Amino acid sequence: MAQRAQPIITVLGISALGLILALILVPPITLLMVAKDGGLSPADWSAIRFTLLQATLSALISILLAIPVARALARRTFPGRGLLVALLGAPFLLPVIVAVIGLLIVWGRAGWISDLIGTPISIYGLGGVLLAHVFFNLPLVTRLLLQGWGQIPAEHFRLVSQLGFRPAQVFQHLEWPMLRSVLPGAFLLVFLLCTTSFAVALTLGGGPRATTIELAIYEAVRFSFDLSRAAILSLIQFAVCGVIAALSLLISLSTGFSNSNLISTSRWDARRRSQRTLDTISILLVTLFLLTPLLALVLRGLAGLGDLPPLGRAIMTSLMIALGSTAFTSLTALALAQWIDHMRAAKNQLAFLSEGVSLLTISTSPFVLGTGVFLLIRSVANPFDFALPVTALVNATVALPITLRVLLPALEQSRLTHGRLGESLSITGWTRFRLITWPTIRAPLGYAAGISAALSMGDLGVITLFAPPDMETLPLLMYRLMGSYQTQAAASVALILIVLTLALFWLFDRGGRLGHHT
Amino acid sequence: MKISLLFAAFATLSGAASAQTLTVYTYDSFVPDWGPGPAIEAAFEAECACDLVFVAAGDGAALLGRLQLEGQNTDADIVLGLDTSLIATARETGLFAPHTGVPDNLTLPIDWTDDTFLPFDWGYFAFVYDRTTVTLPPTSFTELLQSDYTLIIQDPRSSTPGLGLLMWVKHIYGDNATSVWQRLAPRIVTVTKGWSEAYGLFLEGEADFVLSYTTSPLYHQLAEQDDSKAAAIFSDGHYMQVEVAGILASTEQRDLADQFMAFISSPAFQREIPMSNWMYPVAQEGTNMPSAFADSLTGIEPLLFATDQVDSIREQALEEWRNALSQ
């Protein structure tokens, strides 16, 4: 009887898969067709070198700094610890351009640090790019490592303290093996995120010395109209991301979305004064590093709220993009996830598709996707007329793996707990979805939609390639204000953007759980 | 949705359905209230019984890039704001149609013979400094090279002054341009995407010199009564920038476009140039140009490559620049 549900699920699932594959694969094919023969200039090579260099350094620095912080959090309890751990999750939803402005107010040439030491420091270039990437990824790695520490059984720590191990020995025997299994994945994840982080390179990099591959693509399209070069660079970027994604297949890639194992363990070896000092300094420094830009933003932003440019249009555009992309992601992911779950239930080999699709999407640079679509549209119409839908579509693609990851376990749970009952009562099709599946997945779906909307709301990527000057999203408006040195106005817009982003996330997340009693 | 459709819709709603619309793509600083755009729009609309719409479409090369990306589908009837370094590239795109004739009242220091583009203002590139920080300014490009002053310049791929500097260096140093850039590189504080970022940074005291125009200090003198800024005048000459307008071949408003091209060299357009675009008018008569502008013209040797040479020189110069600065 339950077989009656299958055709719809399969048709929807295959359509979703086809849509996603088309979204991911057609742009590179377009690029291949546009790319003409032509070697890379020394400047292109320099962009490739810079991309790899900054991604490597960003990942290394993030990891090196995260180790002492995660260890401190893993073995200390103190007032505000929970808040700090929550703060570590915040950069994930924080729009990149917002963080960049906060960092500039603190670390820029007219910033707090410059004032403090009496000479202006310049962070434009490699320094600024690293600073922003560490700001975003240090918390991410810290959370990953914190989970790692949480997985070391507390008894092991009690055992080594009975054996009288010194901190160095504890590190060698308990912590290092854990780090060795977690760090490669963390490194690759940060490396991948930094390779495709366009907004940071656009705002803090630039100039021939600090140009990433994606920035070079942007310049080739917008400044030189060298579409062939843009296509070649896009293919290189595609290959770089592909290699990293393939590498991460070899080691299990953990993403730090989960909230499990973030607790602390009481440890005897941590009671030494030196260890106590080290932990205190680590926690204080990381708190300062993460909080000052946000504080700076609030202070500067509040002061400028009075004389803001009219924002109505930018807000509307941003909301339209965010809601459009969220709707697209949620529906596509739902169709795909139902199908995959169905196949899992039937022990179908095709069930591994979920991993494949996620991986393919993660390894695709959103900016390269956008460039491909741009070139594709250009052959039939004026691409500037399509800024909105294309941005929404690309943002949707980016959010897809996260949504799938959240939905699949929920669907599985629904099937395992209520599936048999549904079958015995012959509830199928839409009724089954409405009565059995929906109540179980609405909360996770709301959460995923919240993340998706927040990410899309704060995105400054493809839109820079497409947007005509008379079109604005909030992040784009902030970028333009920064360009004309109106930092105060940019900070005020940033505040509004943060509030709207968090409100969107909250609405979806809360909406999913409203009146929900399971 | 096509922008022109949108405008047409608005025009219909406001009861001006019969008026034709002329769409002019220009650079960002031309359009705002403090730019020359609004006054010029009012003056032209008074005589054309049409709707003139300025669209800010990016600076310099980005402006041309936008047109190339839009191709035949563009809404623009006219583009205003390319310059002499971009003319050849612009012509090669095949997007432009010849104008109906060069006006006879031009007062440019060079002869104008181009059959596609017409000049609307011009100026000399120069390094601007603050008299209080630089007391003995260099008197030639070579002296600037030998000094250890810091500079802010613009990216030649996105900004016409940035590109102008490339041509300037090429004009004076020819095949030695690469070594000039290598010597300058360590002293370049930053390369900005556009002129206004660079000038803003300079005003905040971030560098000794900024690449701008000989007319920039006049803005401070005349609009702000501030005498502290000056342009370093080089004995080896200053590269000229002539800003031009051209008609898109795809326009459906050819008559109106011709009328606007003729309007460009009239006093009603030209008199807005000195005090709101801070450049020299291309036809001085009837513009009431302040005497400070005329004074600033003395003692400057104009440098300019012939239009047909520019394209190959530009490609080479860009490559040299990118490679020297990406080291």
- What is the CATH number that goes with domain B124-239+300-325? 3.40.190.10
Q: What is the pLDDT of residue A53?
A: 96
Model's pTM, two decimal places? 0.82
Same domain assignment for residues A8 and A81 = no
- Inspect the interface and report whether the beta carbons of A485 and B197 lie closer than 8 Å: yes
Report residue B262 as tokens: 């003729």
Q: Give the domain-ending residue among A300, A328, A355.
A: A300
pLDDT in tens, A94-119: 999 999 999 988 998 778 998 888 87
Angstrom distance (rounded) from CA B161 to CA B167 = 10
Only one residue has tokens 């940071």, namely: A200
Q: What is the pLDDT of residue B327?
A: 66
Mean pLDDT of A435-440: 83
- pLDDT bucket at A287, cuts 50 / 70 / 90: very high
- In angstroms, the separation between the Cα of residue B8 and the nearest Cα of chain A is 16
Number of domains observed in the structure of chain A: 2
Q: Nearest by CB to A384, which of B70, B157, B191?
A: B70
- pLDDT bucket at A369, cuts 50 / 70 / 90: confident
Mean pLDDT of B260-270: 95
- pLDDT bucket at B8, cuts 50 / 70 / 90: very low
Ramachandran class of B81: left when φ > 0, alpha when ψ lies in -120 to 50, beta otherwise: left
Mean pLDDT of A442-453: 92
Among A132-136, A221-225, A289-293, B77-81, the range scoring the smallest mean pLDDT is: A221-225
Which residues from A are below 8 Å from B1, CB to CB?
Answer: 385
Q: Give the domain-ending residue among A300, A322, A350.
A: A300
- pLDDT bucket at A409, cuts 50 / 70 / 90: confident
CB neighbours of residue A439 within 10 Å? 14
- Inspect the interface and report whether the beta carbons of B73 and A382 lie closer than 8 Å: yes
- pLDDT bucket at B105, cuts 50 / 70 / 90: very high
B200 to chain A, any CB pair closer than 8 A? The answer is: yes
Which residues from A are below 8 Å from B311, CB to CB?
Answer: none
Question: For residue B238, what are the β-bridge partners?
Answer: B302
Residue A65 has pLDDT above 60, yes or no: yes
Q: Comparing C-alpha atoms, which of A421, A338, A349, A409 is closest to residue A8?
A: A338
Same domain assignment for residues A385 and A424 = yes
Search chain A and give the residue with CA nearest B158.
Answer: A223
Angstrom distance (rounded) from CA A514 to CA A439 = 11
Same domain assignment for residues A252 and A318 = no
Q: What is the pLDDT of residue A259?
A: 52
pLDDT in tens, A228-262: 888 889 889 988 888 888 887 776 544 444 555 66
pLDDT in tens, B181-229: 999 988 888 888 788 778 888 887 888 999 999 999 999 999 889 999 9
- What is the CATH number that goes with domain B3-122+241-289? 3.40.190.10
- Inspect the interface and report whether the beta carbons of B65 and A221 lie closer than 8 Å: yes
- pLDDT bucket at A156, cuts 50 / 70 / 90: confident
Q: Give the domain-ending residue among A281, A300, A319.
A: A300
Name, in order, each residue with C-beta under 8 angstroms of A396's C-beta and a sequence gap of 6 or more: A324, A325, A326, A328, A329, A332, A452, A456
Residue-by-residue DSSP string for A284-332: HHHHHHHHHHHHHHHHHHHHHGGGPPP-HHHHHHHHHHHHHHHHHHHHH
Q: What is the DSSP letter of B216?
A: H
B196 to chain A, any CB pair closer than 8 A? The answer is: yes
Q: What is the DSSP letter of A461?
A: S
Which residues from B are below 8 Å from A483, CB to CB?
Answer: 193-194, 196-197
Residue A391 has pLDDT above 60, yes or no: yes
- In angstroms, the separation between the Cα of residue B154 and the nearest Cα of chain A is 9
Report residue B245 as tokens: 């307008």
> How many contacts, defined by CB atoms under 8 Å, are there between A and B?
98
Report residue A423 as tokens: 């079958």
Angstrom distance (rounded) from CA A400 to CA A392 = 12
Which residues from B are below 8 Å from A42, CB to CB?
Answer: 322-323, 326
- pLDDT above 70 covers a percentage of chain A that reads 93
B151 to chain A, any CB pair closer than 8 A? The answer is: no
Angstrom distance (rounded) from CA B214 to CA A453 = 49
- Inspect the interface and report whether the beta carbons of A385 and B194 lie closer than 8 Å: no
**Mutation target among B67, B69, B182, B322 for the A interface, most CBs of A within 10 A:** B69
ipTM for the predicted complex: 0.71
Same domain assignment for residues A120 and A209 = yes
Same domain assignment for residues A29 and A45 = no
- In angstroms, the separation between the Cα of residue A383 and the nearest Cα of chain B is 7
Q: What is the pLDDT of residue A260?
A: 57
Q: Nearest by CB to A43, which of B28, B204, B322?
A: B322
Mean pLDDT of B80-98: 92
Name, in order, each residue with C-beta under 8 angstroms of A158's C-beta and a sequence gap of 6 or more: A268
Helix axes A96-107, A273-304, angle to 10 degrees: 100
pLDDT in tens, B10-51: 444 444 444 789 999 998 788 877 789 999 999 999 999 899
Search chain B and give the residue with CA nearest A383.
Answer: B70
B146 to chain A, any CB pair closer than 8 A? The answer is: no
Helix axes A227-250, A353-362, angle to 10 degrees: 130
Name, in order, each residue with C-beta under 8 angstroms of B46's C-beta and a sequence gap of 6 or more: none
Q: Is the distance from CB of A363 to CB of A218 less than 8 angstroms?
A: no
Q: What is the pLDDT of residue A470?
A: 72
Residues counted in chain A = 518
Structural domain boundaries, residue A69:
40-300
Q: What is the pLDDT of residue A252?
A: 56
Residue-by-residue DSSP string for B159-185: -HHHHHHHHHHHHHHGGGHHHHHHHHG
Residue A160 has pLDDT above 50, yes or no: yes
Q: What is the pLDDT of residue B136?
A: 93
Same domain assignment for residues A44 and A166 = yes
Q: What is the pLDDT of residue A2?
A: 44
Q: Is the distance from CB of A12 to CB of A340 less than 8 angstroms?
A: no
Q: What is the pLDDT of residue A354?
A: 67
- In angstroms, the separation between the Cα of residue B293 and the nearest Cα of chain A is 27
**Between residues B142 and A87, which one has the greater pLDDT?**
B142
Report residue B84 as tokens: 């002499």
Q: What is the pLDDT of residue A413?
A: 86
Residue A260, CA distances (Å) to A77, A142, A150, A444 in order: 17, 14, 9, 16
Which residues from B are below 8 Å from A47, CB to CB?
Answer: 326
- In angstroms, the separation between the Cα of residue B311 and the nearest Cα of chain A is 13
- Inspect the interface and report whether the beta carbons of A43 and B319 lie closer than 8 Å: yes
Residue-by-residue DSSP string for A67-99: HHHHHHHHH---TTHHHHHHHHHGGGTS-HHHH
Mean residue pLDDT of chain A comes to 85
- Inspect the interface and report whether the beta carbons of A468 and B3 lie closer than 8 Å: yes
Region(s) of chain B under CATH 3.40.190.10: 3-122+241-289, 124-239+300-325
Mean residue pLDDT of chain B comes to 88
- In angstroms, the separation between the Cα of residue B83 and the nearest Cα of chain A is 15
Q: What is the pLDDT of residue B139?
A: 95
Same domain assignment for residues A315 and A358 = yes
Mean pLDDT of A408-413: 87
Mean pLDDT of B269-282: 93
Q: Is the distance from CB of B295 to CB of B274 less than 8 angstroms?
A: no
Alpha-carbon Rg for chain A in angstroms: 24
**Between residues A221 and A395, which one has the greater pLDDT?**
A395
- pLDDT bucket at A268, cuts 50 / 70 / 90: low
Same domain assignment for residues A144 and A291 = yes
- Inspect the interface and report whether the beta carbons of A469 and B196 lie closer than 8 Å: no
Same domain assignment for residues A18 and A54 = no
Search chain B and give the residue with CA nearest A123.
Answer: B190
**Between residues B65 and B269, which one has the greater pLDDT?**
B269
Q: What is the pLDDT of residue B32?
A: 79
- Inspect the interface and report whether the beta carbons of B157 and A219 lie closer than 8 Å: yes
Angstrom distance (rounded) from CA B202 to CA B150 = 10
The CATH number covering residue A493 comes to 1.10.3720.10
Residue-by-residue DSSP string for B254-302: HHHHHHHHHHHTSHHHHTTIIIII-SEESS-TTS---HHHHHHTTT--E
